Chain A
């Protein structure tokens, strides 16, 4: 099996076989990112599809300065945001599905909260971010993440702990709740 960087290089040279391999390798990861964002399978699949399309168009801009997973994470989050912004999606939802997925105000707020947390992950320092995404985004074990990052397992655990601490501190401020209230009325 080729490693990711070689595979990405081949993709950037226009090798569609390599790109297919990359998609197969990362579909689940993308889907999991998306699912965390929207919290339901159908929307997650739709977001994943648009993220795959986006990946096809913008993989050539990936400059390998950050880790691919983290780069991909941002791409998926952006797609997810676009997905919710898209007027078509709103129309579709309101027009065709008035009662089925009636989201209660609480659910809605919780969802927005989750999205802010997920967005904030993107602003963490690269090390913390990479590790957190590998563990909670792609679902790797601490051990597997350690191997992939070339660090000790204990370091992985420490970074996860750190990242969580930062997130929890950030999101304990009351300003956030206000933001969410504002967001909910959008």
Chain B
């Protein structure tokens, strides 16, 4: 041994050490490390607050005493997740299909190569591997590439599973619980090792147990939000046209409410102002004739947050389908029953929520349920809504367990929806998840393509988000936006009631799709403008007339609001100073008094060419309704939470006052709750 290190040999060794190739670090590991260090840092500086004057920072999630609870919470979550991986696979098999093999994909592995590795390793170790070698391999590949038609595979597998498994796991009437398999899974251990080591600071705290209820949602650095930088002020002379897609989602508001109620200001990324505004129901004028599915009402009013500016308020009200005209529905619930869904605010709430939705369905509407966890399977074959007990019984048998294999689940759900397709009816998958959606190549992009393809076949996808801690807001947005569906975040039974009962028809029935707005400003009147919100919904000017470009949908009875802040020409307080050398255009062709010209493009649900609605926006003095004013209060709140750049003059208490003054009709108390939230934000902001 000694010789090995002597002299000459030694020289090379030093160089070898110094010049060793270093593979780059995993970006996820980097994110985790930076986030945990950041919260340790803020803790260090807020708890001890040494070093005199610390710079004021937003009291966001990762500050103060919360962070210690956070690390415990996170380590617990990891611990739970790793336990779930121990349940080598979940035996869900009532009805047609069981893709048990998919369970051997642990959630941490995403690339194809990894999947194959896992497959190869598990082949020798797990019972599953011995069952259906070739089918299993094919299925994994299918899960990854989404290419192979799954149907034939499913049939194959079903036979094999039934014949090789002992006991009654797969008998039709067996309880649809997730079986805890006793086979110790080699990768479960491996995963545990990796996961616990990711968290060195907390790895000693593993020995305790807390029930879910004792852990209040705290700080979730693992959540990912979809957002884009705040819209900038634009000069009318440079870009007179603003184009965007409507957005009827409400998820951002519920997420923010949840965060505020947990005692901290939401990170600015979580704020999508338009989703906050559109959370509320505004009684805009209804369309008068049925020829157009919606009506747009525009108003111009003073901006409450900047006395020198005006607001252009566009309210779009969708036509409300009469109950008797409601189309038949074919709904497939795709439920995440992975281990993380076990908490009270997740799977149990999902069950309750679906129970609520059932009451709004027609007797002949069909409901099916597909679950995914370690395995994906059908737990309820298409069943008429009138057999409510049967549906509820299937729901109640569900338990959370296993890791997440969303890719196979979503394929299966689409298949079922397609099989029971109702021509001219509502064909929709409703995905309920806490966020982790482990498809083969779990990138948002892959999934986006799949959902897009299926949408073209007429199956829509809506997303209901549940729970916190792992919520992948961006993934949920991707799915819903591309599936022509609504993304809602459900944190309480009352929210479930709002989305699934009070607004059931707008959630389910599309009255117009690919709705795009284009507003051309008159440079003689408007010198600058800024669209409030809709950052993630911006379109190119040329996309407006291109019917191939996808955009948001309007459901029955939906109202959508868009607000522009404008600076009038000649006003000295405009944010962008006029240029010295621009020649003033003196054509008097534009009709005076018009602020701009609004165009709305939409398609009727069954059509593929768009229709156009056009209306000029006039400067006329109108009485603004309480609803309009309330929507503006929500807009100011959203802007304030998202960074306050353009909202200089309104404090949280001003916003609360504004909202209170314009409470109007508030049958469900949502507006009153909004005021509570503003006041909560006010308090938190002072801390």
Task: State the A residues within 8 Å of B (CB).
Answer: 10-17, 19-20, 23-24, 27-28, 31-32, 35-36, 39, 41-46, 48-50, 52-53, 55-57, 59-60, 83, 86, 88-89, 92-93, 96-97, 100, 109-110, 113-114, 117-118, 132, 136, 139, 164, 167-168, 171-172, 174, 176-178, 180-181
Which B residues touch A117, using CB under 8 A?
A: 13-14, 17
Which B residues touch A12, using CB under 8 A?
A: 51
Asked if B7 and A172 make an inter-chain contact with CB atoms under 8 angstroms apart, the answer reads yes
Asked if A49 and B29 make an inter-chain contact with CB atoms under 8 angstroms apart, the answer reads yes
Q: How far is the CA of A180 from the CA of B189 in the complex (A)?
A: 32
Nearest CB of A to B84, in Å: 16
> Which interface residue of A19, A97, A100 has the most chain B CB atoms within 10 A?
A19
Q: How would residues 1 to 43 of chain B score, 1 for a CB under 8 Å from any chain A CB and 0 otherwise?
A: 1101111001101110111101111100110111011101110
Asked if B193 and A97 make an inter-chain contact with CB atoms under 8 angstroms apart, the answer reads yes
Listed from nearest, the 10 A-B pairs whose CB atoms lie closest are A14-B54, A52-B37, A14-B45, A56-B41, A49-B33, A56-B40, A45-B29, A96-B193, A136-B18, A15-B55
Which chain B residue shows the least CB distance to A40?
B23
Q: Given A20-B38, A52-B34, A93-B193, does the pair A168, B10 have CB atoms closer than 8 Å?
A: yes
B575 at the binding interface (Cβ < 8 Å): no
Contact among A27, A100, A168 with B190 in the assembled complex (CB-CB below 8 Å):
A100
Q: Given A17-B57, A171-B14, does the pair A52, B6 have CB atoms closer than 8 Å?
A: no
Contact among A13, A28, A32 with B51 in the assembled complex (CB-CB below 8 Å):
A13
B229 at the binding interface (Cβ < 8 Å): no
The 9 listed contacts between A and B (C-beta, < 8 Å) are A14-B46, A15-B55, A19-B38, A23-B33, A41-B26, A48-B33, A52-B33, A113-B17, A136-B19
Nearest CB of A to B265, in Å: 14
Nearest CB of B to A152, in Å: 22
Which B residues touch A28, using CB under 8 A?
A: 24-25
Contact among B13, B50, B196 with A113 in the assembled complex (CB-CB below 8 Å):
B13
Which A residues touch B45, using CB under 8 A?
A: 14, 16
Contact among A35, A50, A53, A57 with B22 in the assembled complex (CB-CB below 8 Å):
A35
Contact among B44, B196, B198 with A57 in the assembled complex (CB-CB below 8 Å):
B44
Q: Given A45-B26, A171-B14, A180-B5, does the pair A56, B204 have CB atoms closer than 8 Å?
A: no
Task: State the B residues within 8 Å of A (CB).
Answer: 1-2, 4-7, 10-11, 13-15, 17-20, 22-26, 29-30, 32-34, 36-38, 40-42, 44-46, 49-55, 57, 63, 189-190, 192-194, 196-201, 203-204
Nearest CB of A to B557, in Å: 44
Q: How far is the CA of A54 from the CA of B57 in the complex (A)?
A: 22
Q: How far is the CA of A46 from the CA of B25 in the complex (A)?
A: 10
Q: With A45-B198, A48-B25 given, can you name 7 additional A-B contacts, CB distance below 8 Å? A: A12-B51, A19-B37, A27-B33, A32-B22, A88-B204, A168-B10, A176-B5
Asked if B19 and A23 make an inter-chain contact with CB atoms under 8 angstroms apart, the answer reads no
Nearest CB of A to B20, in Å: 6
Q: How far is the CA of A177 from the CA of B2 in the complex (A)?
A: 6
Contact among B1, B38, B51, B201 with A14 in the assembled complex (CB-CB below 8 Å):
B51
Asked if B197 and A46 make an inter-chain contact with CB atoms under 8 angstroms apart, the answer reads yes
Nearest CB of B to A120, in Å: 10
Which B residues touch A45, using CB under 8 A?
A: 25-26, 29-30, 33, 198
Which A residues touch B18, using CB under 8 A?
A: 132, 136, 164
Q: How far is the CA of A137 from the CA of B44 in the complex (A)?
A: 28
Which B residues touch A164, using CB under 8 A?
A: 14-15, 18
Which B residues touch A11, using CB under 8 A?
A: 41
Q: How far is the CA of A14 from the CA of B57 in the complex (A)?
A: 9
Which B residues touch A100, using CB under 8 A?
A: 190
Which A residues touch B53, using CB under 8 A?
A: 13
Which B residues touch A50, using CB under 8 A?
A: 200-201
Q: Given A56-B44, A114-B17, A177-B2, does the pair A42, B197 have CB atoms closer than 8 Å?
A: yes
Which A residues touch B203, using CB under 8 A?
A: 88, 92
Which B residues touch A167, using CB under 8 A?
A: 14
Q: Given A27-B34, A49-B33, A88-B204, does the pair A168, B11 have CB atoms closer than 8 Å?
A: yes
Which B residues touch A10, using CB under 8 A?
A: 55
Q: How far is the CA of A49 from the CA of B49 in the complex (A)?
A: 24
Which chain B residue shows the least CB distance to A86?
B200
Nearest CB of A to B46, in Å: 8
Contact among A23, A92, A96 with B37 in the assembled complex (CB-CB below 8 Å):
A23
Contact among A14, A132, A177 with B49 in the assembled complex (CB-CB below 8 Å):
A14
Which A residues touch B63, using CB under 8 A?
A: 16
Which chain B residue shows the least CB distance to A32?
B22
Which B residues touch A97, using CB under 8 A?
A: 189-190, 193
Which chain A residue shows the least CB distance to B50?
A60
Q: How far is the CA of A154 from the CA of B327 in the complex (A)?
A: 80
Q: How far is the CA of A16 from the CA of B32 in the complex (A)?
A: 16
Asked if A174 and B44 make an inter-chain contact with CB atoms under 8 angstroms apart, the answer reads no
Which A residues touch B5, using CB under 8 A?
A: 113, 171, 174, 176-177, 180
Which B residues touch A83, using CB under 8 A?
A: 200
Which A residues touch B33, using CB under 8 A?
A: 23, 27, 45, 48-49, 52-53
Which A residues touch B38, using CB under 8 A?
A: 16, 19-20, 23, 56
Q: How far is the CA of A181 from the CA of B4 in the complex (A)?
A: 12
Contact among B1, B23, B29, B37 with A109 in the assembled complex (CB-CB below 8 Å):
B1
Which chain A residue shows the least CB distance to B63?
A16
Nearest CB of A to B294, in Å: 44
> Which interface residue of B18, B37, B54, B198 has the most chain A CB atoms within 10 A?
B37
Asked if A92 and B197 make an inter-chain contact with CB atoms under 8 angstroms apart, the answer reads yes
Q: Given A49-B33, A136-B18, does the pair A41, B2 have CB atoms closer than 8 Å?
A: no
Which chain B residue shows the least CB distance to A47?
B200
Nearest CB of B to A22, in Å: 9
Q: Given A42-B194, A60-B51, does the pair A53, B36 have CB atoms closer than 8 Å?
A: yes
Which B residues touch A88, using CB under 8 A?
A: 203-204
Q: How far is the CA of A42 from the CA of B203 in the complex (A)?
A: 16
Which A residues touch B10, using CB under 8 A?
A: 168, 171-172
Nearest CB of A to B44, in Å: 6
Which B residues touch A89, using CB under 8 A?
A: 197, 200
Q: How far is the CA of A139 from the CA of B19 in the complex (A)?
A: 9
Which chain B residue shows the least CB distance to A114?
B17
